[in-house]
C-alpha cells in the first residue's frame, strides 16, 4: 500500500514581511498605536522595541493585525502582485 504525502502540494502562505516593505510595516505599527485598541497598541510598542529577529516573530504571530492597519491602497497593490486579481472588488 502506497501513501502519498500531500504536504508539498499545499501552497506556502505568504508572510507579511514578504508582502510589504519595512516602511509600510512601521507605518502600520504607528497606526496601531494611534487608532488601534489597547492590544494592537501593545503589539505595536513591542514591535518598535524589538530587534529584527523578534520583529519577525511578532509579524509571524500577528501579521493579520498589522495588515489591518496598512493603508488600503498598499494592501490592494500587494494582493494584486500576489495574483489576487479580484482584490480591488473588496
Tens digit of each residue's pLDDT (9 = 90 or more) over 54-74: 999 999 999 999 999 997 776
Provide mean pLDDT across the span 73-80. Answer: 60
Cβ-in-10-Å burial (0-12, 13-18, 19+) of 28 comes to buried
**Domain total in the chain:** 1
Is 8 inside any structural domain?
A: no
Is 31 inside any structural domain?
A: yes
Least confident of 3-12, 39-48, 55-64, 76-85: 76-85
Range of the domain at 54: 20-89
pTM above 0.85, yes or no: no
| Residues ≥6 apart with Cβ < 8 Å to 87 | 75, 76, 79, 80
Is 9 inside any structural domain?
A: no
Is 60 inside any structural domain?
A: yes
Amino acid at each position: 500500500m502506497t501513501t502519498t504525502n500531500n504536504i508539498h502540494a499545499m501552497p506556502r502562505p505568504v508572510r507579511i514581511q514578504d508582502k510589504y516593505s519595512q516602511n509600510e510595516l512601521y507605518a502600520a505599527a504607528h497606526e496601531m498605536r494611534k487608532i488601534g485598541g489597547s492590544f494592537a497598541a501593545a503589539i505595536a510598542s513591542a514591535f518598535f522595541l524589538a530587534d529584527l529577529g523578534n520583529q519577525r516573530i511578532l509579524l509571524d504571530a500577528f501579521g493579520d493585525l498589522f495588515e489591518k492597519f496598512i493603508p488600503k491602497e498598499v494592501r490592494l497593490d500587494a494582493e494584486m502582485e500576489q495574483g489576487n486579481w479580484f482584490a480591488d472588488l473588496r
